[in-house]
Amino acid sequence: MLKGKNILITGANSGIGRVTATELARLGANIIMVCRNIEKAKAVQEDINALTGLNNVDLFIADLSSHHAIKQFSEGFYQKYDQLDVLINNAGAVFNKREENEDGIELTMATNHLGYFLTTHYMLPALKQAPNARIVNVASMAHRFVNFNYNNLNADKNYNFFKQYSISKLCNILFNKQLTSLLRNTSNITSNCLHPGNIASNFGRNSTPVFNFLIQQFSFMLTTPDKGAKTSIYLASSPLVQNKSGLYWYKKNPVVPSLDAINSEYARQLWEWSLEKTQIKEFGKTALL
């Protein structure tokens, strides 16, 4: 089913992103990795190509907290490809201290939410070229620990690294909700989001000592990247979900997220905020293709 299909995965050089890329490459898909660290990403690219023997892994380098970098990698993408069958928005980060990107956006929100928003915006024309394209957004159950606050999405008023991470994951689900509504009226593209499980990986290891301590103490409750990637792989490849869209998944099953995550007004507010912060006038309309 996947042989010859083009699948783009952000943050594919570690954790569940790496496992997802590896397993989908095994199934014959052409994998397009988008990663920030060129040395680590090249090593993973070589490993997967050697493992499959198919030489079917391509690589683009981009800092997904940067609008300029996402646009730049997208320009390179369209020089080589005109169709994309699956987009997996997977890259995520957590930052100990509040920092901003070049556009004044707090880095957690810039990477974890606007990184998804912008990558999807620029890839949408290529997704529309595929007969039944899919978008997969990796979220988290962390969204359940916070409420949506339109007035502090950029963490200007106060900053707590875990709260901001959780808000960005809530935004993933709200983004998926609004995106699904948009796509339903304009294309056959499906969009789903998921909780991969609490992953035992290097994610967040450079955060606060307290966070690192908690990870160590509760490591027995964590799952492996191999298990965590199963739902991403399922949503990207299974014929059973071909016509399913707008859902939040865990362990290959749709589940109900928090009340804030299914709030249509919150989804609309986030969408408008995202357009404003990225200065995009019409989502998915780009001259790159």
Q: What is the CA radius of gyration of the chain?
A: 18
Q: Are 48 and 57 in contact (CB under 8 A)?
A: yes
Q: Out of 122, 165, 248, 266, which one is annotated catalytic?
A: 165
Whole-angstrom CA distances from 47 to 40, 53, 118 are 11, 10, 29
Q: How many degrees, rounded to 5, is the angle at CA 250 between CA 244 and CA 251?
A: 100
User: Tokens 């191999």 identify what position?
Assistant: 226
Is 165 among the catalytic positions? Answer: yes
Q: Are 89 and 135 in contact (CB under 8 A)?
A: yes
CA distance 26 to 22: 6
CB burial readout 59-82, b (16+ within 10 A) else e: bbbbbbbbbebbbebbeebbeebe
Which residues neighbour 46 within 8 Å (Cβ) at sequence distance 6 or greater?
none
Q: Are 41 and 13 in contact (CB under 8 A)?
A: yes
The catalytic residues are 165
